[in-house]
Structure 1
Amino acid sequence: MLIAFLNQTYSNIELILIDDGSTDNSPKICEEYRQKYDQVRVLHKKNGGVGSSRNAGVAMASGDYVLFVDNDDWLPETHIEDLYNLLKKNNADIAVGNFNEFDEEKSAFLYWMNENDYFEKCYSPKDWFKLEYRTAYYNMSMVFVVPWGKLYKRDLFKDIVYPIDAKVEDNLTTWKIYLLADKIVYMNKSIYTHRILNASVTAQVDKSSVFPSEAVEQRISLVKSIGFDTTEEEKACEKRSTLLQFDDDYLKSREAKQKLAILKKYREE
């Protein structure tokens, strides 16, 4: 991943490496890259999880834009250039691309689009939220949630922090950044390879952690209060109700189901 990042066709970058209490050879590798490349910065910290690492990286960032890359994923050399050009061309606050996957166990790439599927489109935050549950689009639910595969104006993170006590921080945070933007631009192109590893966080967490009830509560309550149509969100959450009962926090799970039941009751009247 480090070489792919340093070999990007867009070169005006700083690469911030967060050593989150690693017990393998990672700290040494980070230091070797810092000594070799001027644009590499390194932070060694006590283990605090993914959210803690993202917070630390954003706090260290000094550029106008922020982009996340998970340590086990792959980038094409044009990743940053594609997102930067898309964002600047459309005067947007966030540029988003699609992705493909590599299954380590099967040693196989997983694709769901080809070059004929390419398009670009700008969205307001309200329209972007509507897009998440439209099945005609390619894997948009995950594109919507994950922090990577996107270029953000750094100013959007002024009041954003990732939770440090959650197994998966994505669904608790990314949507809040969208609400702070004025314009989001999307390209239907695979610009990122997400690796599925048996030892990765994604592989180890259960489905209730990927869709935590806390995120369900926060998102529906907030976006409904500012006038967004949450019908599709509520329907999707109802379908996930079997997942919520396995939530790590039993009381949060019950509270989420109560709110969904109330929303459903008044929607049907």
Structure 2
Amino acid sequence: MRLVSVVVPIHDVEAELPRCVDSILAQTYADLQVILVDDGSPDGSGGLCDAYAAADPRVEVIHQDNAGLSGARNAGLDRVRGFYVTFVDGDDWLDHSFVETLVGLAEQQDTQIAVCRFARITSDPAGGTHSGPPEVRCLTGDQALTEHFGDLHTLWTITPAKLYRTSLWEGMQFPDGRIHEDEFTTFRVLHRASRVTVTSAVLYNYLQRPGSLTGGPATVISRRHSADAAAAQLDYVRGCRPDLVGPAAGRLVRKQLALHRALVAAADPNAEGVLHELRATADLLKRHPSHAAVAVAAQAYARFPAPVATAMKAYAAAQPRARARAIRSRKTRQRRLRVLVSSGWLGGAGGAERALHSVLAALADDDVDVVVRRRLDGPLAVVPDRVRVHDYADWRWWAAGYDIGAKGWLIQRVLNPVRSRLLGRRYDVLLRSLSGPALESAARSRVSLIVPSGERLTPDVAGRYSFVAMQAPDNIHLAAGARTVLLPPPLLPLPTARRPRQALPSAYLLTVFNPYGAVKGLDDLLTVVDAAPLPIVWCHSQRTLDFDLPGSLVGHANLLHVDDPEPGELRHLYENCAAYVSFSRSEGFGWSIADALRYAPAVVARNIGVLTYEESRECPVKIVDGFDEVDWAWIGAQARPDSPRELSWLSPGAFRRRLADLTGAAP
């Protein structure tokens, strides 16, 4: 494990400090260097720091005269020994998985900065902060700098809620004596990084106390420093990113306007000097057409500050009502999504077929086309009336993904562009499972997604799509470094339970899998079957018996084979087992595990697929590294649920909302 250094600047936070430090020491990632910088605290914070250092060898303490937040962070940086470094303010606190999650993202994606979302806390909440299924994005340092000057400014500006390679901070210091030290510094570190990973998971809690720098009202000096930081950002991008001069100058204008109003309110004679600064910034902004309106407003304010300020106040007062009207309008005009789905099969009974069936059911009220390589029999072959199913052999889609040789060149460069025009429709979403045909060059769509389905994508394939749609967080290694989004398939309820034809033991363990090699856990089943305290009911297809199974499993006294159970029979087996046991080593999603989360008393499995969602731990789940030793007593203590668990995060409605959010068509 790589050492992670945690720098904690501390000043007058005696009441909040234990929660902060306890959250760091309780991290699931243990290889830490915790540097507590007592910045001349007048309260008992320094004594608390010494107590933590005496109790835990990972903790180091620096006592110094008050030098401000910049001075405290700089002192901590001088002592950093870790490969990674992160910063936590003394009154904030971390989710227990903060370090492990960000280190995992940094290592998996080979990125130099890993970033998470943070929650603004204005009071002391009773519990922790949780997020929905996270999305993961990979960016270059240039892209991160671009977002820094966009709507995600605050996410990129604050120094905490990020894990940095320590080497990025070489020669870098926070500015002494400045209040908005993050705004002077973080953007430079971001731009040094070659790759940055961002997760939407909320792992950092950012307390804004009424008496703190961030929680209290802005002062004149605070606004002065903020404007100076914006000016420093403008100077920086003028030298290396001329395309960002417009957004940077626009931000500086807003800071200068706020500073001037504060100076006027305080009757400060420096107000006139700020108007001169504002005129110079507006002159620069005029050269950027996309910001011309801001430039004109700034020039008008510089010439007639009082009446323009009055007009700006009136405009600001009207904005909440305007936003409320816009929200109501969006809610009343929700439209159907136009979706093109590419799949290997329609029908059948496997995970891929079930995924397609559940997606189509979730989009039953939308405008959906499906292109399939083969049609199979079975209940999953039935689709909603609004769904149109096409064969890949149809002229509109024939060989759309073929790209080999002269024939491939003609299809990709001539036939597909012609077909995309003749179709005359543009889809909101193209959703392709890896087994489905490649249609992206033959159809136009606002967003294109590919689902790896448990197989690693090549960079060439992943790069053709807007996002790699991961079915579970641990699928990140399948994405080949492409942009990713979490999109768990919708979990439809199984039909009414019906007892299987075979006689069942009064108590049993349940497992459901076809043994396509060791990855599905056949070796582990061999290990467990003799030691299990209860008989094991193994559901699989009839073809399983045609595989080269060990003879000991074919007729084992502690193993009952149930071939090709119908969905209602499966539900009965889940609801009446003592626990569901998954022996699988890897899953793209894990449909049988997801069903067990809904219906079974308990689940025993490795941390794979659907179980890597934090929400899954609200169910009785025992995560194991292997099956040499299993806590059978824990299994026996779990009670059957009175009714199926809700699992709202896997609902059809949640799936559709995620698709709508991706296309900007969310209600």
- Alignment TM class, shorter chain as reference: 0.7 to 0.9
User: After TM superposition, where is structure 1 displaced by more than 6 Å over at least 4 residues in a row?
Assistant: 108-111
Please list the CA deviations of residues 138-183 of structure 1 after superposition, one character each: whole Å capped at 9, or x if unmatched.
xx22111110000001111111110121123111111111122111
Distance in 2 separating the partners of 1:21 and 1:199: 17
Could you say which residue in structure 1 is the equivalent of 2:176? 164
Q: SS at the partner of 1:229?
A: helix
Cα shift at 1:207:
6.5
The answer to whether 1:15 aligns with 2:34 is: yes
Asked whether the 8 Å contact 1:75–1:192 carries over to 2, the reply is yes
Aligned with 1:130 (options 112, 130, 146): 146
Q: Deviations over 1:209-245 (max 9, x none)?
A: 2671211111112112213422333333334442132
SS of the counterpart of 1:122?
strand
Report the equivalent of 1:115: 132
2:286 aligned partner: 265
For 1:157 and 1:252, how far apart are their aligned partners in 2?
A: 35
1:98 aligned residue: 117
Question: Which residue identity is paired with 1:236?
Answer: R
Cα distance in 2 between the residues matched to 1:51 and 1:252: 27
| Aligned equivalents of 2:277, 2:76: Cα separation in 1 | 32
Partner of 2:514: none
Matches within 5 A, 1:150-229: 150-204=162-216, 206=218, 209=222, 212-229=226-243
Are the equivalent residues in 1 in contact too, given 2:114–2:162 (CA < 8 A)?
yes
Structure 1's 86 and 166: CA in aligned 2 closer, same or farther, altered over 3 A? same
Shift of 1:114: 4.5
Matches within 5 A, 1:50-61: 50-61=69-80
Q: Is the 8 A contact 1:18 1:42 kept in 2?
A: yes
**Deviation digits for residues 2-35 of structure 1 (CA, Å, limit 9, x no counterpart):** 1111110000001000000111111111111111
For residue 77 of structure 1, the aligned residue among 88, 96, 115 is 96
> Mapping of 1:249-260 within 5 angstroms?
253-254=274-275, 256-260=277-281
Deviates more, 1:79-88 or 1:176-185: 176-185
Matching residue's letter, 1:165: G
Is the Cα–Cα contact under 8 Å of residues 230 and 255 in structure 2 kept in the other structure?
Answer: no
Call closer, same or farther: CA 1:204–1:103 in 2, change over 3 Å.
Answer: closer
Unaligned 5+ runs, structure 2? 1-19, 293-667
User: For 2:73 and 2:65, how far apart are their aligned partners in 1?
Assistant: 13
Matched residue type, 1:39: R
How many pairs does the alignment contain?
A: 262
1:252–1:60 Cα change, 3 Å:
farther
1:98-128 Cα deviation digits (max 9, x unpaired): 11122118x58998x9415x21111112211
In the alignment, the residues of structure 2 paired with residue 225 and residue 64 of structure 1 have an alpha-carbon distance, to the nearest angstrom, of: 30
Q: What's the counterpart of residue 87 of structure 1?
A: 106
Q: Which has the higher contact order (CA 8 A, sep 6+)?
A: 1
Q: Is the 8 A contact 2:161 2:204 kept in 1?
A: yes
Q: 1:29 to 1:134 in 2, by over 3 A?
A: same
Residue 209 of structure 2 contacts residue 216 of structure 2 at CA under 8 Å; is this kept in 1?
no
- Alignment-mate amino acid for residue 226 of structure 1: C
| Alignment correspondent of 1:232 | 247
- Which amino acid letter does the alignment assign opposite residue 40 of structure 1? V
Counterpart check, 1:68 vs 2:84: no
Q: Secondary structure at the match of 1:85?
A: helix
| 3-state SS, counterpart of residue 201 of structure 1 | coil
In the alignment, the residues of structure 2 paired with residue 202 and residue 88 of structure 1 have an alpha-carbon distance, to the nearest angstrom, of 32
Aligned residue type for 1:85: G
Is the CA contact (8 Å cut-off) linking 1:83 and 1:95 kept in structure 2?
yes
The one-letter code sitting in structure 2 at the alignment partner of 1:257 is L
The answer as to whether partners of 1:75 and 1:193 remain within 8 angstroms in 2 is yes
TM-score (norm: length of structure 1): 0.88
Kept in 2, the 8 Å contact 1:101–1:110? The answer is no
Deviation, 1:65, is 1.0
CA–CA distance in structure 2, aligned partners of residues 252 and 18 of structure 1: 38
Q: Distance in 2 between matches of 1:258 and 1:55?
A: 35
Distance in 2 separating the partners of 1:126 and 1:148 = 20
Query: Aligned partner of 1:70: which letter?
Result: D
1:26–1:242 distance in 2 versus 1, CA, 3 Å: same
CA RMSD after TM alignment: 2.6
Q: Give the stretch that moved more between structures: 224-233 or 88-97.
A: 224-233
Using structure 2 for the length normalisation, give the TM-score.
0.37
Question: 1:94·1:151 contact (CA, 8 Å) conserved in 2?
Answer: yes
Q: Note closer, same or farther for the CA distance 1:243–1:29 as it changes in structure 2 (3 Å cut).
A: same
User: d(CA) in 2 for partners of 1:180 and 1:252?
Assistant: 34
Q: Secondary structure at the match of 1:151?
A: strand
Q: Which stretch of the first structure deviates more once superposed, 226-235 or 6-15? A: 226-235
User: CA offsets, 1:41-80, max 9 Å, x none?
Assistant: 0000000000000000010111111100001111111010
Q: Conserved in 2, the CA contact under 8 Å of 1:92 and 1:184?
A: yes
Identity within the alignment, %: 24
- Could you say if the C-alpha distance between residues 163 and 250 of structure 1 is closer, same or farther in structure 2, counting changes exceeding 3 Å? farther
Equivalence for 2:612: none
What residue ranges of structure 1 are gaps of 5+ in the alignment? none
* 8 Å Cα contact 2:21-2:93 kept in structure 1: no
Stretch deviating more after TM superposition (203-212 or 249-258): 249-258
CA distance in structure 2 between the aligned counterparts of 1:72 and 1:19, rounded to whole angstroms? 13
Distance 1:175 1:134, change over 3 A: closer
Read off the aligned partner of 1:221 and give its amino acid letter: D
SS of structure 2 residue aligned to 1:92: coil
- Distance (whole Å) between structure 1 residues aligned to residue 286 and residue 110 of structure 2: 41
* Cα distance between partner residues in 2 of 1:256 and 1:89: 46
